[in-house]
Amino acid sequence: MRVLLKISGEALSGGKGFGFDEQMLHRVAEIVKELIHNKHQVGIVVGAGNFIRGAEVKNIDRCIADNMGMLAININALALFDYLQKKGIKSRNLNSFAIDGVADRFNKPKAEKFLDNGGVIIFGGGTGNPFFTTDTAG
């Protein structure tokens, strides 16, 4: 079975409201490990509300603020990627836009092949369009 997890930035902060909580990242990695062990294919959509919410930023153009949010998502994606790797879980950051050394641009056939081979995909950058939350991407 293919499973898509949506993890908000707020959840990754572990209730601190900002940044990420290492215990929460560890917990998410353990859940993913269990899903993989039970033969599920796992995709993860992360948010970035623990760093920025484009709709709530004042005095910055909304499109620019949303772009800031799409970039911030990659902070959470990288942190989660690291925790999954440390647990021996093959994972890959795919994004709505490429960031050299951080995330490849999403490609459906490659993503499906990676999932079919037991890898976990972390989806970053939302839809790549302003005015849409990561909930839309999930």
- Write the pLDDT tens digit of every residue in 81-129: 999 999 999 999 999 899 999 999 999 999 999 999 999 999 988 778 7
Spell out the residues 6+ positions from residue 12 whose beta carbon is closer than 8 angstroms to its own: 20, 21, 24, 25, 28, 46, 47, 50, 76, 79, 80
Q: List the domain boundaries for the chain.
A: 2-137
Q: What is the pLDDT of residues 14-29, one digit of tens each?
A: 888 888 899 999 999 9
Classify domain 2-137 at the CATH topology level: Carbamate kinase (3.40.1160)
Q: What is the pLDDT of residue 43?
A: 97
pLDDT in tens, 53-62: 766 778 889 8
DSSP three-state, residue 66: helix
What mean pLDDT comes out for the span 44-49?
91
